[in-house]
């Protein structure tokens, strides 16, 4: 594990945050996922926040993930 940047990133995460992190990590590096997660969590606190937001706002928040 010492060769990988990701260590215990899921600790303290809600199931919602974990789900978003797993989805974002599928096709990009962890550095970009971290940026996208920070932006996403700052904008969307709940699933309801996401559901009520325009797709463009969600895309903007996760853009660093690629």
Question: What's the pLDDT tens digit per position in 40-60?
Answer: 999 999 999 999 999 999 999
pLDDT for 20-43, tens place per residue?
888 988 888 888 988 999 999 999
Does some domain include residue 8? no
Please state the domain count of the chain. Answer: 1
Does some domain include residue 39? yes
Q: Which domain holds residue 31?
A: 15-65
Distance between terminal CA atoms of the chain?
A: 25
- Helix 30-43 × helix 55-62 angle, to 10°: 140
pTM of the model: 0.74
Does some domain include residue 10? no
Does some domain include residue 2? no
């Amino acid at each position: 594990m010492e060769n990988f940047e990701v260590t215990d990133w899921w600790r303290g995460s809600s199931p919602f945050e974990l789900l978003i992190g797993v989805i974002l990590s599928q096709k990009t590096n962890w550095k970009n996922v971290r940026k996208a997660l920070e932006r996403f969590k700052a904008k969307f606190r709940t699933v309801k926040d996401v559901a009520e937001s325009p797709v463009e706002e969600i895309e903007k928040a996760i853009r660093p993930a690629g």
